[in-house]
Amino acid sequence: MEPVAVLRHAPPVGENGYDVNQPALPLNVEMSHPKEPPRLPRQEFRTTTGPTRFATMDSPVGELTLFGDADSLSGVWTRTKTVPENWDRDQFAFQDAIAQLRAYFAGELREFDLPLAPAGTDWQLRVWAALTTIPYGETASYGQLARELGRPTASRAVGMANGRNPISIIVPCHRVIGADGSLTGYAGGLERKRFLLALES
């Protein structure tokens, strides 16, 4: 008869197949979670209450046109557009916005502190408010914003609203990029987008 091999030092095994002599995993072990993206407080938008005024300023990305009422900013155009005849030029009304934009381009300002009153649909306003949470020097993808807005399949709708953002630079639509890191589109042109992201890097 051939000898039968006997395993003399096998660890005792419980019903679940685990070594019963191994210490149990502590119940208070903290599991790691994916890092949440940095975010700023969401900007609260106003509603315009008076006639529209406008002002212009020179900048490294070309002449900017600022417009709104006497108390809030409704838009910053980075491309030349025809100003409606019923808008009054008022450089004084936008002196604070102009000063902050100049400080931003000089690398001296990272967060704008201005009353904003963009005009748009409820969805557009939600997207634009979400844009204000992306910090200086950071970016977010369209899909990421869609998930944060509770509509994970609405990347395209986020992109469309992003492209209609009327307050360029201050509401930072230039900080939204493709999921693969590509710049994708920008209403002000990709060269301006590239410049703004490089300025903030």
Q: Partners of 167 in the beta sheet?
A: 76
Secondary structure (DSSP) of the chain = -PPPP--SSPPPB-TTSSBTTSPPPPTTPPPP-PPPPP-PPPPPP----S--EEEEE--TTS-EEEEE-SS-EEEEESS--PPPTTPEE-TGGGHHHHHHHHHHHTT--SS----B-----HHHHHHHHHHTTSPTT--EEHHHHHHHTT-TT-HHHHHHHHHT-SBTTTS-GGGEE-TTS-----TT-HHHHHHHHHHH-
Give the burial class of 33: count Cβ atoms within 10 A of its Cβ; 0-12 exposed, 13-18 middle, 19 or more buried: exposed
173 is catalytic: yes
The catalytic position among 134, 173, 176, 177 is 173
The residues that are catalytic are 173
